[in-house]
Structures are given as structure tokens and as C-alpha cells.
Chains A and B, each alone.
Chain A
Amino acid sequence: MSIKVKNLSYVYSPKTPYEHKALEGITFTIEEGETVGIIGSTGSGKSTLVQHFNALIKLQEGELMVNGFDLAAKKINYKALRRDIGMLFQYPEYQLFEDTVAKDVAFGPKNFGFKKEEIDFLVKEALTLVGLDYDEVKDKSPFELSGGEKRRVAIAGVIASRPKVLVLDEPTAGLDPVGKREILELIHNLKNTYVKTVIMISHNMDEIAEFTDRVIVLNERYLIHSTTPEKLFSDQNSLNGTGLRYPHVVRIQNLLKEKGVDIELEKMTVDSLIDEIENKILK
């Protein structure tokens, strides 16, 4: 198993007037190989939760095992943990800082202690995996690139150290539709490489429905669901009080149901919806 969380709670600024409970009694498991979506309104605790996974936030209460590392232990090998758990923050293109793309991507592996020849190889590999032409971009300044390209470089910088788990905080925010789709497909394809498990925070229910195996729903610091997107979205009450909406395909399915037409979606995709509409309504 990849990540095991048991009874995790977290309080910001404890014992001060600013004390704020961010997470309470969170329990779930993520298996190796899964693509897991984490959804919830702003302030529900999503970012606080994922920052526990590579110990950017120190465990206060509960148990947390990440890829074999016990984060409740007194001594933790942070370097090894953070090499295994790659983390991409919101708007990661703002973190690019080196004067060339290759140097920027090399920053991670260099700090994790890879050798010079290894680093060159890893940088080339990572840039190729994110769909950029190594020879074309390596000497460019990251600031010459377009928004979508910058985000790819930022992803390359995270995966260059060959993490086993990749955590992404709103990887598609602010991108245009084509850019969004490209990044999602890129993330999906990374799972054919050394990245075994993907955890992604998103506000876009359509992409959650299409790209994840399982969804964790946080609402006001509590975990309220951990289930497949099919089960989550087919329950018409599952998102009550969360401020979240259903994906389009599910809304269309529900509206049809209200009018007396039952359709079943095999997958939460537009293609699956079209097939069902053809079979049940138009044929």
C-alpha cells in the first residue's frame, strides 16, 4: 500500500487565539497504482492533508504511513521521503527560478544527491516525459515559454527525481481547455513510468470523474467520502452541503431520470454518455 492515514487531525496555531482546526479524524488508505482525486471547497483541508504526505506539515495527531515511511516516528529520513513523494503546488510555474530550463529541472535531482551523469539523464528523461523537446528547450529561459510549457517544466522538475508517488495541487488551474487536457493526459501517461500512484486535488468535477479511480471528499475538515467516482456521483445526495457540483455527464443523467428515462453510465465520460443516449433514447 502507498499511503495509510489513521485518525489524523491537525490544528493550526494551537493554543493561541488564532487556533484553527484544519483536519479531524481523517482515516483512509491509498493503494499503490491508484489515481486518487481529492475534492472539497476552499478551506476544507485538502492542501493541509496532502502537505502531510511529504512532511511539509508535521504530523500532530494520528498515524501516517507513506510508502513505508512512518511519519509518526521520532526519526524520519526526510530526504528519502521527499524524493519518493513528488509534490506539485498550485501555479507551479511561479516557482521556476533558474536561468535555463535544464538547470531548473536539474535542481531537484541535484539536491537529492544524484551524480552528474545521472542528473543529465534524468533531466532529459523528465523533459521528454512531459512532452517537451529536450534539445529545443534545455537552454531556453523558463520565462520565454508559454504558460502551458512552463507548467510542464515545473512538472518535469518534480518527476526528474523519479518519485513513486506524485501529489498535484490543482494541476490544471488557470490553463485553457486544450492546456488542461494535455496536462491531464500527461499525468495519466506518467503512470506507465516509475510514478506508481497519483493524488490530485481539483475543483473540476468533470476531470475528476474522467481521470480518477477513487475520490476523497473533504468537507469542513472531515472526510465524508472515499469511494469510486461512479459511486460518489451516482448518489444524488453525496455532495449535499459541500458546495460542490456534479459533473455534466451526471447532471444530464439525473435530469433524464427526472423525466422518466433511466440511463446507466459505464464510465463517467462523454463517450459513455453518448453511447447510452443512442441506445436508450435515439435508437
Chain B
Amino acid sequence: MSEIINFKNVSYEYRSGENFHRGVIGLNFSIQEGEFIAILGHNGSGKSTLSKLINGFLKATFGEVNVLGINPSDDRRIYELRSQVGMVFQNPDNQMVATMIEDDLAFGPENLGIPREEITERIDWALDIVDMKEYKNKMPNKLSGGQKQRIAIAAILSMRPKILILDESTAMLDPKGRKEVMATIKKLNKEQGLTVILITHYMDEAVEADRVFVLNQGVITVEGTPAEVFKEVRKVRDAGLELPIPSQVCIELISKGYDIPFVLTDEDLVDALIEQKQRKSKQKPGFKFK
């Protein structure tokens, strides 16, 4: 694996009216090719600012950003960069440009000057990955939210980016749509080796990532695997976040003195409890494990 994104002491400041705001402050991190990163934080914590610094929508006020060897502040290479960094936003309706799904997917590669035959190939490939092949000649307005969002992802894929950024892309979806989109994201990451950066308010989604960054008031306060991050209960709560529900149960039980491991999922919690029950039944009767 090689490094694909590097932030060195990156800050971003902006003015709105008389007020002076700091979007993000002193960010330092490195993301490897093929990683799946989740970014968590309260509304206004700087999550979107961070993602926009990656593809040059915003330019760092201080510090150095390096994405695929390109400095996003370098206007000469901005289009090269953006063809490699795809973004999917919250509302898929805002991201659809054509009346036919096939045309919608062609828009990106056409703008990159890709030859016609290759565009057709890419469209078929992208629709296949998001499992929407049979919708190629349909209109996007008849689709469900989850389907629309998968088309929006396919439209980005047709540009063959190296990095996919999803900015709360599941926030408007129903449970089924969220599940579909998450499955697609994981497939892209695991099978296509795409580097994924997922900005989300759903702790359940962050649990699926390789690494989690927690942003609080523009600063990364915790960083690590999901298990490492959610163990930092206080920092997570200070950042305006909650633990995944199985972890909440777990932490509460641990604080009551029970000896169970820290878990992130319903399945792991149940396994841990069953193991504890079996261990207890081997002990002599009347003994209370506390």
C-alpha cells in the first residue's frame, strides 16, 4: 500500500460577515491507498471542510495538502485532481444532470474527453458494480432514494476515480436504501480497491470502516480503528457523538464491574454475553461474578 492523501498541519479559515471562523485546525494525517476511512463529528465540526480540502473545493489557509502527489491549491492541476477524487453528496437529486441514466453516467467521462466506445464500456461496468444494470435506459425520477444514490455513485465511478468521498450520502435514505448503499461502498472498497472516505452521522456505518477520525471543533480528537475510537468514550461523547448501541450496553456493564470485552456490534455483544454465561455456570453455585 502506498500513501494517497497526506495532510501536514493543515488549517482552513474563512470569513463570514464580521466573524472569523476556523473550519479545521492543524490537521495531520495520512491515508493509504485502498483504506476505508469514516469521518465522524457533530454538525459544524469541520467534516465537510476536510473533505473539500481533499479535492480542492477549498484551499488550505496554512499547511500542506498532498493528494495523489498533487497539491489541491495548484490551479493548473485541479482538473487532473478532481478526475481522481469523486464526491457524492447527501441529496442524489442535486447530483443528477441528465434525463436518462445512461446519459447521466456519460456526463463525467465525456467531460474528461474519454472516447465514445470506452464511455459505453465504463457505463456498463459502473452500473454492474452498483447492481443497477437493468436501469440503463430508464429515467432517474422513477427510482427509490437508495437506487438514485447508487446511480450517483456509478456516475462518479464512470470517471474511474482513485478516491471516493461520500458526504452524508445515506442521511436521506430509508433503512433499505442505506443498507444497499453501504453494501455498494464496501464492495467498491474491498473488490475494486477504491479508497473510500465516508462522512456520516451513523455510528453503525463507522463501525464498518478500517479507521475512524473524530472531528470536534475543527480538530481531530480521536483516530484509530473503530474499536480503538469508540473505547474513548469521553472523547467520543465530547465530540457530540454517541457510541453504537451494543457498545453503550457494553460500556455500561463494564462500568458496573462485569468482566466482558468491548464490542461494536449486536452479534459480538451476544457472543460475549453467552461466553460469560458459560464461564459463570462452570463456577461453583452461589458465586456472584462482580
Contact = CB atoms under 8 A, between A and B. Distances in A.
A248 B43 contact: no
B174 A176 contact: no
A179 B41 CA distance: 11
A252 B174 contact: no
A270 B248 contact: yes
Nearest to A239: B175
Contacts of B249: 252, 270, 273-274, 277
Interface in A252-283: 252, 255-256, 259, 261, 270, 273-274, 277-278, 281-283
B171 A173 contact: yes
Contacts of B175: 41, 203, 205, 243-245
Interface string B176-211: 110100000000000000000000010100000000
B223 interface: no
B266 A274 contact: no
B242 A252 contact: no
Nearest to A43: B144
Contacts of B253: 274, 277-278, 282
Contacts of B172: 173-174
B173 interface: yes
B276 interface: yes
B141 to A, nearest CB: 11
A277 B256 CA distance: 12
A92 interface: no
Given A173-B172, A178-B241, A278 B256 contact: yes
Contact of A251 (B41, B90, B266): B266
Interface string A4-18: 000000000000000
A42 B203 contact: no
Nearest to B260: A282
Contacts of A248: 244-246, 266
B42 A178 contact: yes
A48 B122 CA distance: 39
A277 B203 contact: no
B43 A256 contact: no
Contact of A146 (B44, B176, B177, B276): B44
Interface string A127-147: 000000000000000000011
Interface string A158-183: 00000000000000011111111100
B274 interface: yes
Residue among B41, B144, B201 facing the most chain A CB atoms (10 A cut-off):
B201
Contacts of A261: 273-274, 277
B42 A179 contact: yes
Given A203-B175, A259-B270, A249 B145 contact: no
A178 B240 contact: yes
Contact of B201 (A177, A249, A255): A177
Contact of A41 (B41, B168, B176, B203): B176
A206 B245 contact: yes
Interface in B263-288: 266-267, 269-270, 273-274, 276-277, 280, 288
Contacts of B145: 42
A180 B242 CA distance: 10
A243 B176 CA distance: 5
A42 B245 contact: no
Nearest to B17: A144
Contacts of A146: 43-44
A62 interface: no
A33 interface: no
Given A41-B174, A176-B201, A255-B266, A147 B273 contact: no
A181 B43 CA distance: 13
B289 interface: yes
Contacts of A179: 42-43, 240
A278 B155 CA distance: 50
Nearest to B91: A91
B11 to A, nearest CB: 21
A255 B266 CA distance: 8
Contacts of B29: none
Contacts of A249: 245
B9 to A, nearest CB: 26
A174 B256 contact: no
B204 to A, nearest CB: 9
Nearest to A258: B270
A205 B245 CA distance: 12
A225 to B, nearest CB: 16
B193 to A, nearest CB: 29
A174 B90 contact: yes
Contacts of A177: 201, 203, 240-242
Contact of A255 (B43, B144, B267): B267
15 contacts: A173-B172, A174-B172, A175-B201, A178-B240, A179-B43, A203-B173, A243-B175, A248-B266, A249-B245, A256-B273, A274-B249, A277-B253, A278-B258, A281-B277, A283-B288
9 tightest Cβ-Cβ pairs between the two chains A and B: A243-B176, A248-B245, A177-B242, A147-B43, A255-B270, A178-B240, A176-B42, A42-B174, A251-B266
Given A176-B42, A203-B175, 7 more contacts: A41-B144, A41-B175, A42-B145, A177-B203, A277-B249, A281-B273, A282-B258
